[in-house]
């Protein structure tokens, strides 16, 4: 993002800062899932571990959907909290639209990471994160930002792409781990 003007960088930083506030909900759920799933796995109550994982992931998705609606509805007001520059406010409102999509991906992927930690399955999740962000997300964001007219929004598209891939891959991994543990 540093290749863009000051207004673009300011709008990007403000939008990512605000969106991060909503990320705390799936992160808190992930931490709770690590404990709840880990407790149930340790007690060999594997069906209960699956139940907790489903409840936590569903909660993350619901909270992220609500967050997305709130961001969409109040994006103009949020932009006014961060700046009174019309250019920054306009850019930030657009960045917040993109933030809705990565909120949804985070609402799925982050609680799943917590559940996988409860199953003591952390290495695969780390590899998935590496691939999601460094092999897919950042390069695709760079390509879209620099070789399409989308400019700085391309980096957000890359972030969404990486998070989306991560959420899908983590979902597949959780299904695999939970099915193999239940047997």
Average pLDDT value for residue range 138-149? 96
93 has a pLDDT exceeding 80: yes
53 belongs to a structural domain: yes
Distance CA 32, CA 13 (A): 29
Task: Compute the mean pLDDT over every residue in the chain, rounded to the nearest whole number.
Answer: 95
Boundaries of domain holding 128: 6-182
Task: Say how many domains are in the chain.
Answer: 1
* Joined tokens for residue 79: 């932009």
Q: Does a structural domain hold residue 124? A: yes
Complete DSSP assignment for 25-69: HHHHHHHHHHHHHHHHHHTT-HHHHHHHHHHHHHHHHHHHHHHHH
Distance separating alpha carbons of residues 95 and 158, to the nearest angstrom? 13
| pLDDT (0 to 100) of residue 182 | 63
**What is the reported pLDDT for 180?**
87
| 177 domain residue, yes or no | yes
The C-alpha atoms of residue 54 and residue 73 are separated, in whole angstroms, by: 29
50 located within any domain: yes
Q: Residue 102: pLDDT band by 50, 70, 90 thresholds?
A: confident
In a domain, 1, yes or no: no
Mean pLDDT on 138-151: 96
Per-residue pLDDT tens for 17-27? 999 999 999 99
Q: Evaluate whether residue 107 is within a structural domain.
A: yes
Residue 20 in any domain: the answer is yes
pLDDT at 45: 94
pLDDT at 183 over 90: no
Domain-embedded: residue 145 = yes
- Asked if residue 120 has pLDDT above 70, the reply is yes
């Amino acid at each position: 993002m540093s290749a863009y003007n000051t207004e673009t960088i300011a709008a990007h930083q403000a939008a990512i800062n605000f969106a991060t506030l909503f990320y705390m909900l799936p992160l808190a759920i992930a931490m709770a899932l690590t404990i709840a799933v880990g407790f149930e796995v340790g007690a060999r109550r594997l069906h209960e571990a699956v139940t907790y994982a489903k409840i936590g992931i569903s909660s993350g998705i619901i909270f992220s959907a609500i967050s997305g609606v709130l961001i969409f509805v109040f994006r103009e007001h949020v932009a006014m909290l961060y700046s009174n520059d019309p250019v920054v406010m306009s850019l930030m409102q657009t960045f917040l639209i993109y933030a809705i999509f990565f909120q949804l991906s985070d609402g799925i992927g982050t609680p799943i990471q917590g559940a996988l930690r409860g199953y003591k399955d952390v290495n695969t999740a780390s590899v998935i994160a590496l691939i999601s962000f460094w092999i897919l997300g950042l390069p695709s964001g760079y390509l879209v930002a620099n070789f399409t007219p989308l400019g700085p929004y391309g980096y957000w598209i890359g972030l969404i792409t990486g998070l989306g891939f991560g959420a899908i891959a983590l979902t597949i991994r959780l299904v695999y781990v939970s099915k193999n543990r239940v047997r």
